[in-house]
Amino acid sequence: MSQKTVQWLIGRLLTDEDYRAQFLGDPLATLVAMRDQGFELTRAEMEALLRTERAFWSEGADRLDAHLQGCSLRRG
């Protein structure tokens, strides 16, 4: 288990709007891609992230100060 990877991933999901949208669009593919890129994620960690209520990620991001958020430049 890599607690460091899980902590980094949670932080990214809460602060990176584009990455959060990618994850919410296809959570499993996002986690598999991350693992394939060399990030240490166990099956149990991936399952736990997949079981986390999806609304948590957007609601949590909305509660962070805007200075901690990375906004998406892709929206028109």
Domain ranges of the chain: 3-64
pLDDT of residue 51: 97
Give the global pTM. Answer: 0.83
| pLDDT, tens only, 4-49 | 999 999 999 999 999 999 999 999 999 999 999 999 999 999 999 9
| Type of residue found at 22 | Q
Looking at per-residue pLDDT, the higher value among 10 and 74 belongs to 10
- E strands within 5-68? none
Quote the Cα angle for 27-30-34, to 5°: 140
